[in-house]
């Protein structure tokens, strides 16, 4: 036995890497406009979502002010200046109330409470913790920076509670308000998220709907040139990428709105500090620009490679029987692993870039700004005039952190932005494909089946497959088309069904140029049976009716007419039997009979069978031929034949060779002609002229 060359096996994954670096010519502006056009269909949801965003962002900015008040006015507010009054905190037989430094007229009848060395002290007159130079614990005296010595007394816990007593109710009120605002913010965030995601999912739904409808308008050449796995990836995965782009754009817009609102509040707290923080803006923008450009090419490659992997996996699964037949499991596994490793390497490069120039760098800038705040207020603290309260410092640090929250959100979306741009270009590439022409359906024309090919020539690329074809088929004739592989017989039927546009010549149906009809109108009069019948998920009945209303009785009638009812009745559920994937629980002959029943139920004027008996045994072929006689009765029938016995009784047989009709006539005529037909016939059946 001759040893098979290991290199003779053609891998279904071969040459899949050639499209690895394919890029689509779409600008970012174009892609964004198209995504926003889809998003605009849900403009009400988006508007309400933005409204909720503004509301909860404002409330989130208001909450730190409550904490500021809680700290400065109440929890730490006891450390301030108190003046004698008619009412207020009773201490030492007198009543005291808080006063602002600006309200001090004289320092008589005034005390100050300060925190020093883990204790609270009160002294007569005006003093602050920052004024203290040293403290003598033995005498209880404070030496101020101006060398003035003042007496101090440490407050007991009970005395300290007296000064805190005016703040109890305000503290409770602030806590209640803070809690209520938190609940409101949670509700607003939830509603904003729901409205935002609803609009997002509608966008995906609209794009997928348009993409699926687009498939119905694409010419057949697109499906031949584009792997099915890649098309599926575009509609499923890449449509999610377009949704991701919308979400990224929305997130960036919300981040910008939040950023503006935070800066407005920060300006109100300390405009000088705000201007200092803006010094980091050019650095952040430069860093983001460089990062985005560096990471861009890897996301293009990753997305394209994901599509290649999906397409390759689909081919691998479809070709599993061939792979196992040739014992190529290990080779195919290694080849598929190569694709995975390539994708892995691209992802690792993107990950390294993200690790080196990602969130850690942003955290460094954020911490640097916080250090700037500490330095800024630390210097002010050295002078009594510029001392800052704890609450004010908390407010500034909180707002600075809130400045970086939207910046971090923008940065986190940069990777998604690039990935989403790539995905969007791919789905829009599908949506922008040139559509098939002459589509539409007005009403089904009543063809009689008179067909003429007049000087028809056709080429898929530069090489002509059909060359000046001229035939005339009268209504109801049974026509056989034979010839070696590549002779053009199947192409004749493809052109007749207008899967490709006619390039040269004319095809007349009932003496009317079939270009006067839409493609759907022509196909509505043609029944087409493939070598591999196309069955879909569902039942035997749903595959026979395939979108038209028909009763069980009508379905069973057509099955009985073609002799298929017997095998259907053997199933417990009859015509309601569930079919497995691609009808794998049926034999090839049973599949063909179902496809015959599907055609018979529609009653077309023209019937085409393309190698319909090529893959079945002789016994099944006899059953199919009987069904074919029923199906072809009264119809113009074309049979692209591999087994010449199928077309032995044809009214006319056309023999094609290299795109031309070289012989035509009945079986007897062609056999006696002693030409190509006879050579093919005897190659199949020897010299037995009477073979049935």
Q: Are the C-beta atoms of 197 and 419 separated by less than 8 Å?
A: no
Q: Which superfamily is assigned to 478-487+526-685 in CATH? A: P-loop containing nucleotide triphosphate hydrolases (3.40.50.300)
In 3D space, the residue among 11, 103, 16, 26 whose CA is nearest the CA of residue 429 turns out to be 26
Which pLDDT score, from 0 to 100, does residue 654 have?
95
Q: Is the pLDDT of residue 20 over 50?
A: no
Which pLDDT score, from 0 to 100, does residue 552 have?
86
Which pLDDT score, from 0 to 100, does residue 385 have?
47
Exposure on the CB side of residue 132, measured as CA atoms within 13 A: 20
Which pLDDT score, from 0 to 100, does residue 356 have?
65
Q: Is the pLDDT of residue 384 over 90?
A: no
Which pLDDT score, from 0 to 100, does residue 616 have?
58
Average pLDDT of span 318-325? 74
Token pair belonging to 596: 């015959």
Average pLDDT, the chain: 80
Confidence of residue 615 (pLDDT cuts 50, 70, 90): low
The position carrying tokens 């259907």 is 568
Q: Is the pLDDT of residue 301 over 70?
A: yes
Torsion of CA 423, 425, 429, 432, to 10 degrees: 130
Q: Are the C-beta atoms of 599 and 629 separated by less than 8 Å?
A: no
Report the C-alpha gap between 639 and 624 in whole angstroms. 13
The SS3 assignment for 381 reads helix
Rg of the chain on CA atoms, in Å: 42
Domain ranges in the chain are 23-67+172-431, 478-487+526-685
Q: Are the C-beta atoms of 482 and 646 separated by less than 8 Å?
A: no
Token pair belonging to 249: 């754009």
Exposure on the CB side of residue 427, measured as CA atoms within 13 A: 31
Which tops the pLDDT comparison, 3 or 162? 162
Q: In the chain, pLDDT over 70 holds for what percent of residues?
A: 85
Average pLDDT of span 396-403? 78
Report the C-alpha gap between 13 and 333 in whole angstroms. 10
Which tops the pLDDT comparison, 237 or 102? 237
Host H or E run for residue 608: strand 606-610
In 3D space, the residue among 499, 507, 501, 498 whose CA is nearest the CA of residue 469 turns out to be 507
Confidence of residue 670 (pLDDT cuts 50, 70, 90): very high
Which pLDDT score, from 0 to 100, does residue 381 have?
52
Q: How many C-beta atoms surround the C-beta of residue 471 within 10 A?
A: 17
The position carrying tokens 């409808």 is 213
Which pLDDT score, from 0 to 100, does residue 4 have?
40
Note the CATH number of domain 23-67+172-431: 1.20.1560.10
Angle between helices 281-318 and 359-381 (to 10 degrees): 160
Tell if the pTM clears 0.85, that is, is over it: no
Confidence of residue 44 (pLDDT cuts 50, 70, 90): very high
Q: Is the pLDDT of residue 467 over 90?
A: yes
Average pLDDT of span 513-541? 85
For residue 170, is it left (φ>0), alpha (ψ between -120 and 50) or beta? alpha
Q: Is the pLDDT of residue 177 over 90?
A: yes
For residue 327, is it left (φ>0), alpha (ψ between -120 and 50) or beta? left
The SS3 assignment for 645 reads helix
The position carrying tokens 């040739």 is 326
The position carrying tokens 């992802």 is 347
Average pLDDT of span 604-613? 80
Average pLDDT of span 22-33? 73
Which pLDDT score, from 0 to 100, does residue 687 have?
67
CA 597, 593, 533: angle at the middle one, nearest 5? 100
pLDDT tens for 125-153 read 776 666 777 887 777 788 887 778 888 88
Token pair belonging to 198: 């609803």
Report the C-alpha gap between 539 and 406 in whole angstroms. 54
The position carrying tokens 């409204």 is 51
Average pLDDT of span 171-191? 94
Average pLDDT of span 1-29? 47
pLDDT tens for 488-498 read 998 999 999 98
Report the C-alpha gap between 140 and 134 in whole angstroms. 11
pLDDT tens for 49-64 read 989 989 998 998 888 8
Q: Is the pLDDT of residue 435 over 70?
A: yes
Average pLDDT of span 154-162? 85
Q: Are the C-beta atoms of 640 and 493 separated by less than 8 Å?
A: yes
Confidence of residue 558 (pLDDT cuts 50, 70, 90): confident
Phi, psi of 581 (to 5 degrees): -55, 120
Report the C-alpha gap between 101 and 85 in whole angstroms. 16
Q: Is the pLDDT of residue 24 over 60?
A: no
In 3D space, the residue among 124, 155, 141 whose CA is nearest the CA of residue 132 turns out to be 141
Which pLDDT score, from 0 to 100, does residue 379 have?
64
Average pLDDT of span 659-666? 93
Helix ranges, 270-389 (H): 271-277, 281-318, 320-325, 329-357, 359-381
Longest dimension (CA), the chain: 138
Phi, psi of 406 (to 5 degrees): -70, -35
Report the C-alpha gap between 20 and 304 in whole angstroms. 6
Residues sharing a CB contact under 8 Å with residue 486, sequence separation 6 or more, in sequence order? 465
Residues sharing a CB contact under 8 Å with residue 230, sequence separation 6 or more, in sequence order? 307, 308, 310, 311
Q: In the chain, pLDDT over 90 holds for what percent of residues?
A: 16
Which pLDDT score, from 0 to 100, does residue 125 have?
77
Report the C-alpha gap between 82 and 93 in whole angstroms. 14
Token pair belonging to 664: 């035509």
Which tops the pLDDT comparison, 375 or 258? 258
The position carrying tokens 């390759």 is 312
Token pair belonging to 545: 């009716």
Q: Are the C-beta atoms of 634 and 476 separated by less than 8 Å?
A: yes
The SS3 assignment for 266 reads helix
- Kindly provide the b/e burial profile for residues 370-406, where b requires at least 16 CB atoms within 10 angstroms of the residue's own CB: bebbeebbeeeeeeeeeebbebbbbbbbbbbebbbeb
Beta strands per DSSP E along 125-216: 132-136, 141-144, 149-154
Report the C-alpha gap between 664 and 673 in whole angstroms. 10
Q: Are the C-beta atoms of 115 and 129 separated by less than 8 Å?
A: yes
Q: Is the pLDDT of residue 524 over 90?
A: no
pLDDT tens for 70-101 read 887 777 777 778 888 888 888 888 888 888 76
Q: Is the pLDDT of residue 172 over 60?
A: yes
Confidence of residue 662 (pLDDT cuts 50, 70, 90): very high
């Amino acid at each position: 036995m001759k040893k098979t060359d290991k290199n003779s096996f053609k891998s279904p994954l071969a040459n899949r890497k050639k499209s690895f670096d394919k890029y689509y010519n779409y600008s970012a502006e174009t892609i964004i406009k198209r995504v926003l056009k889809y998003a605009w269909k849900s403009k009400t949801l988006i508007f309400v979502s933005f409204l909720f965003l503004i509301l909860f962002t404002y409330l989130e900015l208001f909450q730190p002010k409550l904490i500021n008040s809680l700290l400065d006015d109440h929890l730490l507010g006891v450390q301030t200046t108190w003046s004698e009054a008619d009412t207020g905190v009773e201490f030492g037989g007198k009543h005291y109330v808080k006063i602002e430094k600006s309200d001090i007229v004289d320092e008589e009848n005034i005390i100050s409470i300060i925190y020093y060395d883990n204790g609270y002290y009160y002294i007569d007159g005006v003093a602050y913790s920052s004024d203290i130079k040293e403290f003598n614990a033995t005498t209880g005296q404070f030496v101020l920076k101006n060398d003035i010595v003042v007496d101090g007394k440490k407050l007991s816990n009970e005395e300290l509670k007296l000064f805190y007593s005016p703040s109890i109710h305000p503290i409770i009120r602030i806590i209640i308000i803070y809690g209520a605002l938190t609940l409101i913010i949670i509700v607003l965030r939830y509603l904003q998220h729901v409205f935002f995601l609803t609009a997002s999912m509608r966008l995906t739904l609209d794009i997928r709907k348009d993409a699926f409808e687009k498939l119905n308008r694409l010419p057949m050449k697109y499906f031949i040139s584009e792997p099915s796995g890649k098309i599926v990836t575009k509609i499923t995965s890449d449509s999610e990428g377009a949704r991701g782009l919308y979400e990224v754009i929305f997130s960036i817009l919300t981040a910008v709105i939040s950023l503006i609102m935070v800066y407005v509040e920060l300006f109100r707290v300390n405009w000088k500090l705000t201007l200092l923080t803006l010094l980091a803006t050019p650095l952040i923008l430069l860093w983001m620009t460089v990062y985005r450009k560096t990471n861009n090419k890897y996301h293009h490659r990753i997305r394209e490679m994901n599509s290649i992997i999906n397409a390759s996996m689909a081919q691998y699964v479809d070709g599993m029987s061939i792979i196992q037949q040739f014992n190529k499991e290990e080779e195919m596994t290694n080849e598929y692993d190569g694709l995975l490793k390539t994708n892995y390497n691209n992802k690792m490069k993107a990950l390294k870039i993200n690790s080196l120039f990602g969130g850690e760098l942003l955290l460094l800038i954020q911490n640097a700004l916080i250090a700037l705040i500490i330095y800024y207020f630390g210097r002010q603290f050295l002078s009594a005039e510029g001392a800052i309260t704890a609450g004010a410092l908390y407010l500034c640090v909180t707002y600075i952190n809130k400045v970086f929250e939207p910046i971090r959100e923008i940065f986190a979306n940069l990777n998604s932005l690039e990935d989403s741009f790539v995905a969007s270009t791919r789905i829009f590439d599908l949506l922008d494909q040139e559509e098939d022409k002459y589509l539409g359906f007005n009403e089904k024309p009543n063809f009689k089946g008179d067909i003429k090919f007049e000087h028809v020539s056709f080429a898929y690329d530069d090489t002509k497959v059909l060359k000046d074809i001229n035939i005339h088929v009268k209504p109801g004739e049974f026509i056989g088309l034979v010839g070696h592989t590549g002779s053009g017989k199947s192409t004749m039927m493809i052109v007749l069904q207008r899967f490709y546009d006619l390039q040269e010549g004319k095809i007349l149906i009932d003496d009317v140029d079939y270009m006067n009809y839409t493609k759907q109108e022509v196909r509505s009069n043609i029944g087409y049976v493939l070598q591999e019948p196309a069955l879909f998920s569902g039942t035997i009945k749903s595959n026979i009716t395939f979108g038209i209303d028909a009763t069980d009785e009508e379905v069973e009638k057509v099955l009985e007419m073609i002799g298929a009812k017997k095998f259907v009745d053997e199933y417990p559920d009859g015509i309601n039997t569930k079919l497995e994937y691609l009808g794998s629980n049926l034999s090839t002959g049973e599949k063909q009979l179902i496809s015959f029943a599907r055609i018979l139920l529609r009653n077309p004027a023209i019937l085409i069978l393309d190698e319909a008996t090529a893959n079945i045994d002789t016994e099944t072929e006899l059953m199919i031929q009987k069904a074919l006689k029923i199906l072809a009765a009264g119809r113009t029938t074309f049979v692209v034949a591999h087994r010449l016995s199928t077309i032995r009784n044809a009214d006319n047989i056309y023999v094609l060779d290299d795109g031309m009709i070289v012989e035509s006539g009945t079986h007897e005529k062609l056999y006696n002609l002693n030409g190509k037909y006879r050579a093919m016939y005897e190659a199949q059946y020897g010299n037995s002229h009477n073979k049935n």
